[in-house]
Amino acid sequence: MNTSETTATRRADVCAVAIADCFAGDGERLCNPIGNLPLIGGRLAVATSEPHLALTDGFYTLIDNVPPVGMSEAERLENRIVAHWNPYREMFGLLWHGRRHVMMGATQIDRHGNQNLAAIGDWKQPKSQLLGFRGAPGNTINHTTSYWVPKHGPKVFVESVDVVSGVGYDRAAALGPVASRFHEIRRVVSNLAVMDFESDDSDGVAVMRLRSVHPGVSVDEVAEETGFDLVVEGEVPESRVPTAEELSMLDQVDPSGNRFKEVPDQ
């Protein structure tokens, strides 16, 4: 890679394609990213590599088009090709059936992929009440889940989460192979790197592994910003940079550049 290309690569775009790549191979199922960058990356996947994924309109329908993010309510309703009615009760039916890959945020996440978005401190009387468990328990035990962390740091990537809302691999293993047969935490994408769970600890339980570091980020930096020993196997590759087609699609999906506000260039 020459210097001019490196300079032109923007971190938020790298994050967006890393998020899009989480959905690779998913074929025909609901791509359900939650949050700003996840929405942009998820929609990029549908617009490029995985055209048969379905998206939601953010509320009560599944749509068969890829609208830009950041629209007003009126624009949202105008810019959707409704393919299916999907009120919340139907969403629960869909996710219990399993044809869904969700990407959620995480206030805390540990080496086995246990996620906390519920509360900080003791759940019974928390120091800080967060979102509660929301749909995280049901999502993680029923279908594929990935996570997005916009600010990779040791307070997010922790030795042990305060509350387990999203189920990680050790908790799933403890349930046994039948109860956990639909459980899959595929990736964790952050502003620094991409992590997966394609490595096992000494008990044979999947643990978080550094899959790639974003251009300009060192393996040591990621390790320092992670509150547990991240598995590093051999030479860690650099996260891939977007293609010209992806860059042009990103400008269509995110015309006002919301992604750069969430992930500024380093």
Provide the binding-site residues for other proteins, judged by CB under 8 A.
59-61, 73, 85, 87-89, 92, 95-96, 118-119, 123-138, 140-142, 163-167, 171-172, 174-180, 182-183
Could you tell me which residues are beta bridge partners of residue 84?
Answer: 62
In angstroms, give the least distance from the CB of 15 to other proteins.
Answer: 22
Could you tell me which residues are beta bridge partners of residue 103?
Answer: 33, 146
Nearer to other proteins, 168 or 242 (CB): 168
Scored b (16 or more CB within 10 A) or e, 188-226 reads bbbbbbbbbbeeeeeeebbbbbbbbbbbebeeeebeebb
What's 87's DSSP letter? Answer: -
* Helix/strand/coil for 46: helix
Nearer to other proteins, 61 or 212 (CB): 61
In angstroms, give the least distance from the CB of 50 to other proteins.
Answer: 26
* Helix/strand/coil for 209: strand
Nearer to other proteins, 58 or 153 (CB): 58
**Measured CA angle at 64 (ends 95, 96), to 5 deg:** 5
In angstroms, give the least distance from the CB of 82 to other proteins.
Answer: 10
Nearer to other proteins, 84 or 240 (CB): 84
Nearer to other proteins, 126 or 216 (CB): 126
Nearer to other proteins, 18 or 95 (CB): 95
In angstroms, give the least distance from the CB of 116 to other proteins.
Answer: 9
Residue 10's nearest CA partner among 199, 252, 253, 251 is: 251
In angstroms, give the least distance from the CB of 47 to other proteins.
Answer: 25
In angstroms, give the least distance from the CB of 164 to other proteins.
Answer: 4
Scored b (16 or more CB within 10 A) or e, 139-154 reads bbbbbbbbbbbbebee
